[in-house]
Chain A
């Protein structure tokens, strides 16, 4: 049992090792060989495959070494610590954004399953809301900073990131929860009616637990949406303590230290993985007593 549960992790590590090996062999051997042949690697006269130099494709080992170097010349923190801290800051924001998005999504789904009118009226707006380009919206929310102050609370840059993360993550939750809340069998609803159960009791004792299997995949989508929303808004609103901003900052040194930006990219990958692990753990907890379906 123990060994079996380790298997996905082993495959994950193997896949990562293969990816890194492919990267290294391209930049060291295949790429340079391609450089000697002008015709190969061109389709209809367009160059498709990247050049394999240190600027475009820094070595994996250089990336590794970057973690140990000081953040900026003469600073006491190294890149590893900076990326770790940035990743942790972004994770905190993304988790709060996910929780916020989940609450809003479930709230919207409750309203929609309770009142069919709300479902018909609200759904089109929910769909439209997801077509708004986030990068366009992010700077807009920053300007709210000067306008909005609720009970002495000042709008901060992190508030923008939080709002955008929540904004992206609530949609899959709302859709998944709505399907889940409407999933009970008519007979189960009749049973609750026969007990003269109120709408609210029926929701708590039947609709909500019935929705858990629908919420798990919705949470996975919402988790990556929250991470995406937070990281992208860090970039566009200039929130300096997140890992998203580090990508932008390290990219400034693209010519002098081309491998450095990949440390921040690795940070975002770890961020995504941590988020997925958190959601998996939550899913395991909430479905511990249910018939287990095998899913990879």
Chain B
């Protein structure tokens, strides 16, 4: 199996040498194989978003190496090997839905017809085929997030990096979007690295859940979930689902040195 992401012995220090120095990540190693869905979960300040940004080459590691599709993160970024989605859909309000999806293709220098065709294809993938000419503010939060995913996947990247993409959605929409994301990833064979605060979300979506802890940010355990391909609404009530949730929760507790300390910022829903 080829490695989509290979993080080896990475350290990240912010404000090095100054009084407000922060050890965001300490000796982090993680390998993600192609086609895998991996979630990063942990309390606020555990460096999960930092790790995602290091993979995306939006930040540079202080020490250690990172490879994306066997290339340097910079080269992977220049080649648009990955797409990104954030908690806020972040659609450009002055562009129509189709034009938003076309944004990464414009930057790649695609011609207009090709862009149009791809936008149409992506709208069908996220099941909003008739909203091409709508403006973003005319869509619901869930629809906006679908467009953000369509935009992230428009250039057919092999890797999708997501930073709490469903964090701002209500619970019902969120579960629906999770199922949609699984369907889309299965259809496009995309590798996903997914940052979340929610244990059930991580367990439901992932092949593996990477549990992190803070001060300094590090990986404390990796839980293999293996709920299989046929996940549906019943999966959320299955015994194995609850067992894995418990396992992740214990991983989060174990990561904390002081017993009884509350785990901030992790959602038990």
Contact = CB atoms under 8 A, between A and B. Distances in A.
A65 interface: no
A194 B92 contact: no
Contacts of B103: 195, 205
| Chain A facing B: main interface SS | helix
A290 B92 CA distance: 10
Q: Which residue, A197, A212, A289, has most C-beta atoms of chain B within 10 A? A: A289
Interface in A85-114: none
B137 A187 contact: no
A3 to B, nearest CB: 26
Interface in B143-196: 161
Interface residues of B, number: 26
Contact of A185 (B77, B88, B96, B135): B88
B94 A195 contact: no
Interface string B113-131: 0000000000000000000
Contact of B84 (A190, A209, A290): A190
A194 B107 contact: no
B253 to A, nearest CB: 31
A276 interface: no
B194 to A, nearest CB: 16
B58 A190 contact: yes
B84 A201 contact: no
Contacts of A55: none
Given A194-B56, A205-B106, A187 B94 contact: no
B39 interface: no
Contacts of A122: none
Contact of B86 (A190, A193, A209, A212): A190
Contacts of B90: 185, 187-188, 191
Contact of A191 (B84, B96, B108, B137): B84
* Most B-side CB within 10 Å, residue of A188, A190, A196: A196
B106 A196 contact: no
A60 interface: no
Given A187-B86, A194-B82, A209 B92 contact: yes
Interface residues of A, number: 19
Nearest to B94: A209
A191 B86 contact: yes
Q: Which of A190, A191, A192, A290 has the most CB of B within 10 A?
A: A191
Nearest to B56: A194
Interface in B64-98: 77-78, 80, 82-84, 86-88, 90, 92-96
B162 to A, nearest CB: 12
Nearest to B155: A195
A201 B109 CA distance: 11
Contacts of A57: none
Most chain A CB inside 10 Å of its own CB: which residue of B78, B87, B90, B137: B90
A251 interface: no
Nearest to B138: A291
B107 A195 contact: yes
Contact of B104 (A187, A195, A290): A195
A197 to B, nearest CB: 5
Contacts of B53: 190
A109 to B, nearest CB: 18
Contact of A196 (B77, B87, B161): B77
Contacts of B78: 196
B133 to A, nearest CB: 10
Interface in A195-221: 195-197, 201, 205-206, 209, 212
A289 B135 contact: yes
A294 to B, nearest CB: 15
Contact of B58 (A185, A188, A194, A291): A194
A284 to B, nearest CB: 14
Given A209-B94, A291-B93, A194 B84 contact: yes
Contacts of A290: 93-94, 135
A291 B86 CA distance: 22
B137 A291 contact: yes
A205 B109 CA distance: 13
Contacts of B95: 209
A187 B88 contact: yes
Contacts of B87: 187
A185 B87 CA distance: 12
Nearest to A291: B137
Given A185-B88, A291-B137, A194 B77 contact: yes
24 contacts: A187-B87, A188-B92, A190-B53, A190-B58, A190-B84, A190-B86, A191-B84, A191-B86, A193-B58, A194-B58, A194-B84, A195-B103, A195-B104, A196-B80, A205-B92, A205-B106, A206-B92, A209-B94, A212-B94, A289-B94, A290-B93, A290-B135, A291-B135, A291-B137
Interface of A: 185, 187-188, 190-197, 201, 205-206, 209, 212, 289-291
The 8 nearest A-B residue pairs measured at CB: A194-B84, A291-B137, A209-B94, A196-B78, A187-B86, A195-B107, A195-B104, A187-B90
